Structure 1
Amino acid sequence: MLENVKIRLGISVGDLNGIGCEVILKTFADSRMLDFCTPIIFASNKTISFQKNTLGIEVKYNGINEASKAIDGKINVVNVWKEVPNIQFGEATEEAGRFAIKSLKKAVEALKNDEIDVLVTAPINKNNIQAEDFDFPGHTDYLAQELQGESLMFMVADKLKIGLLTDHVAVKDAPAAINPILIRTKVRIIEKSLLMDFGIRRPKVALLGINPHSGDNGVIGKEDNEVLKPVIKEMSDAGHLVFGPYSADSFFGSDMYMKFDAILAAYHDQGLIPFKTLSFGKGVNFTAGLSKVRTSPDHGTAYEIAGKGKADHSSFKEAVFTAIEIYRNRTEHQGLTDNVLQKQRTRR
């Protein structure tokens, strides 16, 4: 069955001056990982050789020119470039940004062409990736353009899943960006993902308030009363298990989050601070709502420890397992859906 199918797992290396290659190589230095997937790294033989030798990580890999030539049971490296990058650990350079984009674009191309089944992305630097042909604040926005569907930044861990109404938006601009259409869209993406990707049939979703204390009935701000509450009531009346808005300051400390399958935060730090506090090292960033599966670790480039061999690869490893699990759940869900549709056609 699906458990025995070797999933082709594509990997973009991120910023070469950060810890991306280190966490990738540390993850697959454990040969048991090859029982779960066939890793396909988008970089170059020389780049990976330099990284593993510098960091002292013992791995063997198979160099290929196309993802379709990957061999099961081996770490595969697609030669995306022939140049030899000038790697300067801990430095944010334009060159590192260019190679991060090259790796990502080639990996996404392979994902779109079904040469890989899922994509796991190592961390990038949002500043040095900016270019004429790459004007995006991060992975999520780029993937939303390239892959079908509406994207949602969904931070997932074992017992905690947090989506964002607004992600890479300045705090001062977040309230104005939140409107009924956005709320309905994000709630539906979360509900569909919980059903299709995590096997939760009747998901319960909590929304956090936009203002402190959810506005205190308009004393601190009107957005919660005028925007959030009407949409929550409308969706609840329509049969959705949607609740809130809840005051964000006490929601996590009181373990209220344990009562829900997912939480929808109003803005980036409102969701990411409690998520990383409760799940750091075990959390995964999943781009929900797209036609393909993409995950990443819950940390950044970590320039301060890059090249020193100190990086913890736990979150990247979790990102690998999460991508595999979601792919299997999604494939199984699609199979069940196809069976139901076939039965309906037969009855007609």
Structure 2
Amino acid sequence: MTALGTVPDHDDPAPIPLLDLRGVHAGARADLDAVWSTVLAHGRYVGGPELDEFEDRFAAYCEARACVGVGNGTDALELVLRAIGVGAGDEVVVPANTFAATAEAVCAVGGTPRFVDVSPDTLLVDPAAVAAEVGPRTAAVVAVHLFGQMADVDALGRLAAREGLALVEDAAQAHGARFAGRRAGGAGLAAAFSFYPGKNLGALGDGGAVVSDDVGLVERVRRLADHGRSAGDRHRHEVAGRNSRLDTLQAGVLSARLRTLDAENAARARVVDRYRERLPDGFRLVGADPRAECVHHLAVVETDDRDRATAALSAARIGWGIHYPVPCHRQPAFAAPGLRRPVLPVSERAADRILSLPCSPTTTDAEVDRVAAVLREVVR
């Protein structure tokens, strides 16, 4: 490896990015250029025809009845919670092993996140832990589909129906995933998606969507996201809403990207399969439920010596990440005054051991083999 700022030696291997966005977009360049030209020509940059097209196509892809595009994935989750009436005094059950946005959305509507532990194999929310946390103030459960795998929506759905709770999917990392035959976006009352550029279905900036079989719920979200406007009179504001809209250009980009999503997800699966074959002992891929069809948003392993592994990867110019090093129940932002922080041993142990390896639709067999070879030296 060369020193920073020097000319690399010809024998120096090329860097391997954690996520190869440039490579992914290079393959879609012609379609993306066409979207830009079309939108620039008609000039309807907000609420243009590309938005209607994408909402219809994405709802159909998720095998749901309706979709509304919004500003980002965090807004999508917050708007769902607000549209179903979650507010002050309500509690929402959330797994501790998730990105902070899941809990932020609960707090934003005035609710209280109740953190629960995850299953040790998949690191997804444990339905038994959810059942134990349900109380008289519980209004909803958020099923976070993490790393490209859906949570156990069968068990969670039965629990929600029995207890009269809303089951909301946080599907920000699960575009195209299935569980027991059902697509992400069609398993709960509603689902929140993010189209942040690094997602399996990513825009060229921020974006999000709410998907549901409940058309009325989707229309309530649409109204809230567009300043509370009446569907029949844009000058009449029926509720105090906000501005959270998916713009026309991003909608067009997403429609173009949607055409290749299944192929790109299959490519990610091949990358993870090769990791499974080549990784040395001491690096265990996070498990998959046999009922799940994963789309491998991330290739996450657990290891006893993450610091040594990350140092070796960095020295070899190989990208890596940690999703996530601090569980939500240990974040200062979500510390409830006067309440003892819960002890969630699976989430806490995983936070010290998880490591995300390079995984893109463009990641090659040779790159996976090089990552594995570097890690093999770590455990020698």
Q: Could you tell me the TM-score, scaled by structure 1's length?
A: 0.28
The structure richer in strand per residue is 1
> Which structure shows the higher helix fraction?
1
Q: Please, what TM-score do these two structures have when normalized by structure 2?
A: 0.27
